[in-house]
Chains A and B, each alone.
Chain A
Amino acid sequence: MKTLADLKKIREKAQEEMKLRGGNVRMKIVVGMGTSGIAMGAREVMKTFLEEIANRNLTDVLVTQTGEKGLSSMEPVVDVIEDGKDKITYGNMSPEKVKKVVVEHIVNGRIVSDFVVATGN
C-alpha cells in the first residue's frame, strides 16, 4: 500500500464485508421464517436470495429474516423494502420465483406483480 487510492480500494472491499453492520443498504429483503414458512421451503428461498445476490455482486442489498407474518396460506412470504417506497410482499415463493424477483425487481426495479400478495404496510 503506497497511496491513499490503494487504501480506498481496501476500504471499499472491507466495507462490503461489513455491510450487515449498517451502512449503505438500498434494499432489504425480509424472508418470513416462521414454522410454517420453513415447512414450505423458506430456507431454500432465503438461500437462493443469498446466492443470487452474491452472484450479481449486489453490495447494497441486505437479506434478513423475520418470524411468522400471519400469511400462512401463502408461505414462503418475502418482503422487499426500499427506502421511500411501499413495502412489497411476495407470496408462495420458490427458488425459481426468487431468481425472477432478483432480476426484475431487485436489479431493474420492476415489481413482479404476478407474485405480489400485498403492498404497503
Chain B
Amino acid sequence: MSLKRIDLLICCGSGCISAGAIKIKERFHEVLNEKGMTNEINIIETGCMGPCDYGPVMVIYPEGIFYKKVTPEDVEEIVNDHFMKGRPVKRLMLQDDEEQAISAKKDVPFYQKQVKVALENCGYIDPESLDEYIATGGYEALGTVLTTMSPQETIELMKASGLRGRGGGGFPTHIKWQMVHDAKADQKYYICNGDEGDPGAFMDRSLLEGDPHRVLEGMMIGAYAMGASRGFFYIRAEYPLAIQRIKQAIAQAHEAGLMGDNIFGSQFCFDAEVRTGAGAFVCGEETALIHSIEGSRGNPTPKPPYPAISGLWGKPTVVNNVETLGNIPTIYRKGPEWFASMGTATSKGTKVFALTGDIRNTGLVEVPMGISLRELIFDVGGGMVGDHKFKAVQLGGPSGGCLTTEHLDVGVDYETLKEKGAMMGSGGVIVMNDQKCMVNVAKFFMDFCVDESCGKCSPCRIGLKQMYGILERITNGDGREEDIDELIRLGEAVNKLSLCGLGQTAPNPVLSTLRYFRNEYESHIRDKACNTKVCLPLIHFDIDKDKCIGCSLCARKCPVNCITGSRDEKYTIHQLDCIKCGNCQEVCPVKAVGRIPGMHPEMIAKREADKQRLASED
C-alpha cells in the first residue's frame, strides 16, 4: 500500500496545456524532489475539468481544493503552505461575489448546476490509466451485458433510456442499432464519429482525451447489441492527443483481455482501430465519413441507402458520435430509468456544451436536457464579461442559428431549439454581447461554410457563394433593397436542394439572424450604418471640436496623414482618405475622437457621384 497522502490532479486538457499546465507539472516534480516529498504526493494528469477560462486549473484531494490560473512561480508556495503546513493558498482560489475565496471544487458555482454523465470521469481520473477507469466502475457494464443479456435485450434497454444521438441530429440511438441488428450480413461495422468541426466546439475532443476507455466501452456494448465485430474511431488529425489516448486505451484493453476474442468468456469478439481525418468539415457527415475511411474522397452520397443498410464497404454500419458513446456505459450501469428521469419528454439525459464567447466561464459543461438558456448562460456560464449586455447566442455552430433575449427562458432540447430556428448541433454555444454585429456574424459562418462545402452539389457550392457575396456587399455599404428577400430565397433553395446535412443547414445562421435581427440588415442597407460599429465601411471617425485641445497627437499618429488642423482651429479628419485604423481614437488624450455608426455623408455623396459617372460613361 502506498504512503501517498495527497492526490494532485492537474488538468491537462488542451486548454490548460496551452495555458502552461505541463510546465507547472514539471515544476511540481522539481520542487517535490528538492523537498523529498515525492512519495507522499500523487501527481495525476487528468482530462479537461471544464472551466477552461481559469486555466491552468488543478484540484487537490483529499480536501478537494480548487486552484485557478496557477503559474510555475506559485508551485513552491503551494508545496510549502498547502502540502507542508496544510494551509491552502487563498489567492489562487476562485472568489465569490463577496470576494470570499471558494476553496472546494464542489462549491464552485460553475459546477453546481451541472450533472456529469458522459463527463463523469473527465478531470477526475488519469485518462491513461485503465485501473482508474475500472475503479470508477468501468467495464462493469460491458461485463454485465455480455454475460447476462442478449443483443435484443441490450437494444430494448437502450430504447427504454431514450438516448438520442448527440452529434446534432438527435436520431434515437436504439433505432440505428436495431436496423443494423436486423440486417443480414457476414460483417457489420461500428464507427465512432470524432470529426468535430464546428467553430467553438470541443466536447468530443475533451471526452476522448479525458476518458477514452468510456468511449471504447460504449462502442463495445453497442457493437455487441448489433453484432459488429470491428470498430473504427474516425478522429481528425488536429486532435493528436485524442488520437494518442484512444490508441493507448485500445492497446490497454487488448492487454487486459477486455478486447479481442471471447470477451468476458462470451462469444463476442471485437477489435477497433483509429482512422485519422484530414479535417474537412463535411467528413462529419456520415456518408462522407464512410468514404473517407474507405480511402476515397470524403464526399457525401445520397441517403437512402442508409449506412445501417449499406455503409462501410457496403456492409451494415452504425455511426455514433463520441458523446453518445460516452453516455452508454453509465446507462447500463445505473439503469435506463435513471437516465430517462433527467431531461424533457422527448430529450432524455444530459448534454455536454462547449461554452465560448463573451461569457465569464468559458469551458466545457454538462447539464440536464431542458435547462433554460438563462441558467446555462448566466448561472453555469457566470454571465457576461464586463458591463456589456447579452445580445444573442449561437447554438449548433454553422448549422445552427442565433437566439435572442426573448428566448432566454426556452428549455434546451432538440425539438424546442429546432422550432425556434436554432439546433442542438454538437453542442457549441457561442454567447455574444451587444458589441457584436449580427450581419457580420452571419457572414463569418457563411464564409466557413463556403470554404468547407465539398463542391459536389450545385445548391451548396454555388448558392452559398452567392449568399456570401450578398452579405459582403451589405457589410461593405453596397447593400440593395432587394438583398434581404434574395438571401431568404437563396437560403430556402439551398436548404431544400442540397444533398447532405452541411448544405441543408448552412443557410441557418443567415436565416435565423434575418428572423430575429432583420432591423440590423435593414440599417446596413438603407441607412448605411452598422450600429454596433463593427463593419468598418459603415462607420466613421470624427473629432469633437468642443473637446479637442489641438494637441496634434492624432495628426502625427495618422498613418495616411488625413488629419489636419492647428491649435486654434482644432483638428479635422478628411473622411475620404480615412482608412479607419482607429489610431487617432487610441492616442487622443481627451477622448475627443469618436467612432460613430454610419457612413459619413461626404463618403455617401462621393460614392453616389462615382456611380453616376460610371453610368454616364456606359
Residues of A within 8 A of B (CB): 1-4, 7, 10-11, 13-18, 20-22, 25, 28, 31-35, 38, 43, 46-47, 50-51, 53-55, 57, 59, 62-67
Contacts and interface: CB of A to CB of B under 8 A. Distances in A.
Contact of A18 (B7, B64, B144, B147): B7
9 contacts: A1-B257, A1-B258, A17-B131, A18-B7, A22-B64, A46-B5, A50-B5, A53-B1, A59-B1
B520 to A, nearest CB: 50
Contact of A54 (B1, B86, B265): B1
B264 A4 contact: yes
Contact of B86 (A13, A25, A59, A67): A67
B605 interface: no
A11 B137 CA distance: 7
Contacts of B615: none
B478 to A, nearest CB: 61
Contacts of A21: 7, 9, 61-62, 124
Contacts of A20: 4-7, 42, 61-62
A52 to B, nearest CB: 10
Contacts of B64: 22
Nearest to A18: B135
Interface residues of B, number: 35
The B interface, classified by DSSP as helix, strand, loop or mixed, is loop
Interface string B54-92: 000000011110000000000000000000111100000
A78 B86 CA distance: 13
B85 A33 contact: yes
A53 B131 CA distance: 22
A7 B3 contact: no
Most buried by A among B4, B40, B124, B134: B134
A34 B85 contact: yes
A67 B63 CA distance: 13
B1 A4 contact: no
Interface in B9-25: 9
A4 B139 CA distance: 9
Contacts of A47: 3
Contacts of B143: 3-4, 7
A20 B2 CA distance: 11
B569 interface: no
B483 interface: no
Nearest to B144: A4
Contacts of A13: 131
A79 to B, nearest CB: 11
B256 interface: yes
Closest 10 CB pairs of A and B: A65-B86, A14-B135, A14-B131, A67-B87, A20-B7, A66-B86, A54-B1, A1-B257, A50-B3, A4-B143
A57 B4 CA distance: 13
B86 A33 contact: yes
Nearest to A43: B84
Given A2-B265, A22-B62, A50 B85 contact: no
Contacts of B5: 20, 46, 50, 63-65
Contacts of A10: 131, 134
A33 B6 CA distance: 14
Contact of B84 (A17, A28, A38, A55): A38
A82 B139 CA distance: 33
B265 A3 contact: yes
B140 interface: yes
Given A1-B257, A15-B135, A38-B84, A7 B1 contact: no
B107 interface: no
B132 interface: yes
Q: Select the residue from A28, A53, A62, A67 with max chain B CB neighbours within 10 A.
A: A67
A50 B203 CA distance: 40
A26 to B, nearest CB: 13
Contacts of A25: 62
A31 B5 CA distance: 11
B140 A7 contact: yes
B221 to A, nearest CB: 14
Given A4-B140, A20-B7, A62 B135 contact: no
B190 to A, nearest CB: 22
Given A4-B147, A14-B131, A33-B86, A62 B62 contact: yes
Contacts of A4: 140, 143-144, 147, 264
A88 B208 CA distance: 46
A112 B5 CA distance: 24
A14 B134 contact: yes
B134 to A, nearest CB: 5
A27 to B, nearest CB: 12
Contacts of A31: 86
Interface in B112-168: 124-125, 131-132, 134-135, 137, 139-140, 143-144, 147
A13 to B, nearest CB: 7
B105 to A, nearest CB: 11
Contact of A3 (B3, B40, B61, B264): B264
Contacts of B9: 21
A95 to B, nearest CB: 14
B119 to A, nearest CB: 16
A112 B545 CA distance: 86
Nearest to B125: A18
A46 B1 CA distance: 16
B2 A35 contact: no
Contacts of B61: 20-22
Nearest to A69: B86
Nearest to B39: A50
B571 to A, nearest CB: 62
Nearest to A23: B135
A63 B7 CA distance: 12
